[in-house]
Every structure is written in structure tokens, then in C-alpha cells.
Amino acid sequence: MLGFLARTAIRTGTRVAVHGIMEQQRASARQYAAAVAAANTPFSIVPDATGETALFLDKRIGLGHALPGYPRPLGIVPGPNEPPCDALVAVAELPAGVRYLTGPAIVHATDAMDLALKQAQLYVDTRTATRGVVPVSPANAAQCATYSVHAAALAEYPLPVPDAFGATHEELIFLVRSGHTAVVTLRYARDAIDPVALASFRSIARASLTWDPLRPATPPRLWPESSYLAPGLGSQLHPHRQAQVPYLVPAMAVDPGEREAIGDVIDAMLTGDAPPWLGAPPGEIDQWATRLTHASSSPGFAQMVRTVIADVRTIRDVRGFAVLLSAAAQAAWTS
């Protein structure tokens, strides 16, 4: 397993490598979204004022999906290894692709969850050229309520070969509502993407999907106000937090034998599954602080952690606090 500093360096390098591409794609994302919204199609993409966040809508069935990272529609690329899909949305900032397909049930089932599990397993087996090797998991009641469906099934798997865009991994969200099905897949090149940005994207994309014709989705606000981070998948520190980094460096001067344990806790905060808009319960914030302070015997480190974490209010802030500590650790441990 790579050490914390090596993982941090890879994350930083990946951000720099994709920055130029992101700048070129951000402007075109707004243009693409506006064109699709104006076109006479069953699909639309409604961007916010910045274009960083947009709402994908399938107007035929009332399915909505809020996506970050400058989403834009792309033409569907057919191929021998490509399953059918109705629409394809690219997330320019990662990059990643989100595909949508709706249709009837094609397997016999006893109830909605049985249908979701059986048809999702069939989809996964076809995608991976295996039979029952990749498990499909039932969505829990809270997830089904979020999706506004009667049942849902989830799976993650590597692709046998990269797709036309270089994606190597896929996640499946299989939805069932009133006997009809919707397939939503998230596809990306996992090892070529900043893992912090990828974690943010996955946490949002898996929690911002809803299928309810009676309550059409509305443009969301995915990024809560944060004293640590600016909006967006890039998890950029606010200028005043970036200026704070040199003042945290002395407190990060812990025993070298303690660094990896601290780094593991920071990584866990950076790559959590919860979406950014959720509040961070005080008990959870205290648990993070305790895990960090127990990883080191340094009183100065413990005092710094307790002081800086006091501003955490949301899951977004948890990640921002971790980005701040990561920057300070990189400066302290490589000097």
C-alpha cells in the first residue's frame, strides 16, 4: 500500500494534469447543456448559474439526476461491448460518464426487489462476461426512499476492457418503479482520477437520483456553504484556509512512526461515502478528532486538531478539514 505522502503526491499530480482539460471543457459544458435544454428531445440538462452543477431530466418518466463537475450531454458511441442506452452525460471535470436506460421488466419475479436483483444480476453478468461472480446488493429502505422507487439494486465492477473513453470501472444503480425499470451507470477510469474528486462525485451521484413523475426534480444545490472549501469536485481550499497551512505545519511535526496512522485517518475523511450536503453530527466530528489524536502522542498536534475541527458543520466540511490537514502534513513531512 502506498504511504500517505505518496498518495497525496499522486492526488496533487492528478489535479495538475487534468486542470488544463477542465478549463477547456467548462465553457463548452454550459453551451452543450443550453443546446440540449432548448432541443425538442425527451431529455434535458438544466445547469445552475455557473454550469458546475446541472440537473439531468428524462421527461418521459420523470427521472431526475443532479450531477456536479460541469456535466454535458454526449452522443452515444455504439460498439460491440456497449449495452444500449437512451442518454449519455459526461462529467467534464473528472472525466466520467453517466448512462441512462429505461424499459420493461424482462425477467419473471415475485416482487419489485426480486425483479431488481434478478435483472441487475443479468445486466452485471453481461457487462463482466461472468455468471454470478460480481455480487448485486439490494438497496436499503432509505436509499429506495431517496430514489422514490419500490426497489433498487446496486453493484460495482471492473470492465473486461476499457470503453471508448478509457473508462475501466462501472457502478450500476438499477431502479424499479411500478413494474418498469431504469438503469443508471457511472463509468470512469478509476486509477486516472483524483480519488478525492472521485469520492465526492460518487457520493453525490448515488444520492441525487430520483424517479417520481408526480414530483419532478428541481435544480439542486449540491455544495453547502463551507468555511474550508470552494464549491466543486476539485476540493480547493478557500484562500484564508490555504494561508492557514504554514501555521499548522509546526503542529504536524509528529514522530515519523505516527505519520502513517494519521494519514490513514485523513484519507478516510477525504474519501467518505456520505454526500456533502448532509450535516455532520457532533458525535461523528468528535470521533474523527479522537481517531486523529489517538494516532499521535503529541499534545500540540492534539490541540491543533481540536481547534481546527471546531468549524466543521457538514460532510463537506469534514472533507475540507481533511484537505487542510493533508496540505499541512505534506508541507511538514517533506521539508
pLDDT for position 187: 97
Q: Where are the domains of the chain?
A: 4-211, 239-333
- Grid coordinates given for 275: 454526500
CA distance 191 to 82: 21
pLDDT at 79: 80
d(CA 327, CA 267): 12
Question: CATH for 4-211, among 3.40.50.2300, 3.40.1000.10, 3.50.50.60, 3.40.50.300?
Answer: 3.40.1000.10
In DSSP terms, which residues pair with 71 in a beta bridge? 91
pLDDT at position 29 is 47
Asked if residue 95 has a cis previous peptide bond (ω within 30° of 0), the answer is yes
Q: How many CB atoms lie within 10 A of CB 207?
A: 19
Which residues 6+ apart lie within 8 Å of 185 measured at CB?
Answer: 85, 98, 99, 170, 171, 172, 173
Annotate the chain with three-state secondary structure: CCCHHHHHHHHHHHHHHHHHHHHHHHHHHHHHHHHHHHCCCCEEEEECCCCCCEEEEECCCCEEEEECCCEEEECCCCCCCCCCCCEEEEECCCCEEEEEEEEECCCCCCCHHHHHHHHHHHHHHHHHCCCCCCCCEECCHHHHHHHCCCEEEEEEEECCCCCCCCCCEEEEEEEEECCEEEEEEEEECHHHCCHHHHHHHHHHHCCCEEECCCCCCCCCCCCCCCCCECCCCCCCECHHHHCCHHHHCHHHCCCHHHHHHHHHHHHHHHCCCCCCCCECCHHHHHHHHHHHHHCCCCHHHHHHHHHHHHHCCEHHHHHHHHHHHHHHHHHHHCC
Quick one: pLDDT at residue 326?
97
Q: What is the pTM of this model?
A: 0.88
The tens-digit pLDDT sequence of the chain (335 residues) is 346 666 665 555 555 444 444 455 455 545 544 554 445 589 999 998 889 999 999 999 999 999 999 999 998 878 888 999 999 999 999 999 999 999 999 999 999 999 999 999 999 999 999 998 999 999 999 999 999 999 999 999 999 999 989 999 999 999 999 999 999 999 999 999 999 999 999 999 999 999 998 876 676 789 999 999 999 999 999 999 999 999 999 999 999 999 999 999 999 999 999 999 999 999 999 999 999 999 999 999 999 999 999 999 999 999 999 999 999 999 999 97
